[in-house]
Amino acid sequence: MAEVNPNVNEVNPGETEENPGETEENPGETEENPGETEENPGETEENPDLEENPYLDDYNSSLNDGPVSRTSGVAPLAVHFFADFVDSASGAERIDRYHHYDYTWNFGDTGSGIWGTSGRSKNMAKGANAVHIFEEGGVYNITLTIRNHSGIVGTENYTVTVTDPDSFYNGNTVCVNRSGDNNFSGAPAGALQINSDSISTITQYAKAGNRILFKRGSSWTTAGLDWPSNAGPVTIGAYGTGVNPDALGIYENAPRITVTSGSFLPLGYKQDWRLMDIHFIDASGYTANCVSGSVNMQRQLLLRLKVEGFSSGIGWS
């Protein structure tokens, strides 16, 4: 039987804007992004926002060290899966199970659509490890079917509960429009509506449990920004009707943010943040970053971003 490549295939293409997996753009916990260590302790006196953040316990309790990285959270929710059939073995048996069995995941997310690059369903994936982004609220029943040359040898079942973002962020959403434009059509009900040409006046609202949405079809220019450090969840995205999506689902009228220097979003000491549906443009002469970071960056999701002109659009150090 041919070896199964669990990382990159047509059904589960791995590194894409729609399915970033654990990559340079979405590193999870890696050598470059070790999470909480002696050198990177997370909650410290130097970083009191994390220490005192009431969402931290809820965040940590939502993580699962087993075959499912997260069993609950607010949409869009990126979840990493790893077959317990492999993880429960060791030595040569573990290697054999990883390479010589066929793994088919059904995420129970029939409305997730198809990949624009292959036309295959996003609801299915192949390989012992897989990633799926749940973009709608609901309870999802995930099934893994394991086969060898003789047929089905086992199944595994998991449940992921995803909270609708409009419900989760109700009363904690800020919708931003340019000064002088009072058309906030498409803004979620109850959102705080702010007119501002300066994003630096908006960053204060990025508190744990808050969402900031920029109007589609509008543009801003900014130098590098300072954002609060917290354990999330925080979403920075777009509101209004999207038009003319490309093959990756990026809308033609995504909010345009031009960065003149520094970094739009330094992700150090931030956990469970989502940056999505925005078009970033470099106007610095290749010295700015769209997203950067160095320490204590966990569970970051970068989704449907168009990053144009940067020498290092996504940079870690």
Q: Tell me the DSSP string of the chain.
A: -PPP-SSS-SSS--SSSS---SSSSS--S-SSS--S-SSS-SSBTTBHHHHH-THHHHHHHTB-SSSBSBSEEESSEEEEEE-HHHHT--HHHHHHHHHSSEEEEE-S-TTS-B-TTT--BTTEEESSEEEEEE-S-EEEEEEEEEEETTEEEEEEEEEEEEE-HHHHTTT-EEEEE-TT----TTPPTTPEEEE-S-GGGTGGG--TTEEEEEETT-EEEE--------S--EEEEEES---S--TT---TT--EEEE-SSEEEE-TTEESEEEES-EEEE-SSS--EEEEE-SSEES-EEES-EEES-SSSEEE-
**Residue with more model confidence, 49 or 130:** 130
**Confidence (pLDDT) at 314:** 84
For 140-179, write each residue's pLDDT tens digit.
Answer: 999 999 999 899 999 999 999 999 999 999 999 999 999 9
**48-165 sits in which CATH class?**
mainly beta
Band of residue 65 on the pLDDT scale cut at 50, 70, 90: low
What global pTM score does this model have? 0.79
> Residue 139 pLDDT > 80, yes or no?
yes
pLDDT digits (tens, 9 = 90+) for 78-94: 999 999 999 899 999 99
pLDDT in tens, 196-231: 999 999 999 999 999 999 999 999 999 999 999 999
Summary mean pLDDT of the chain: 83
Residues forming CATH 2.60.40.10 domain(s) in the chain? 48-165
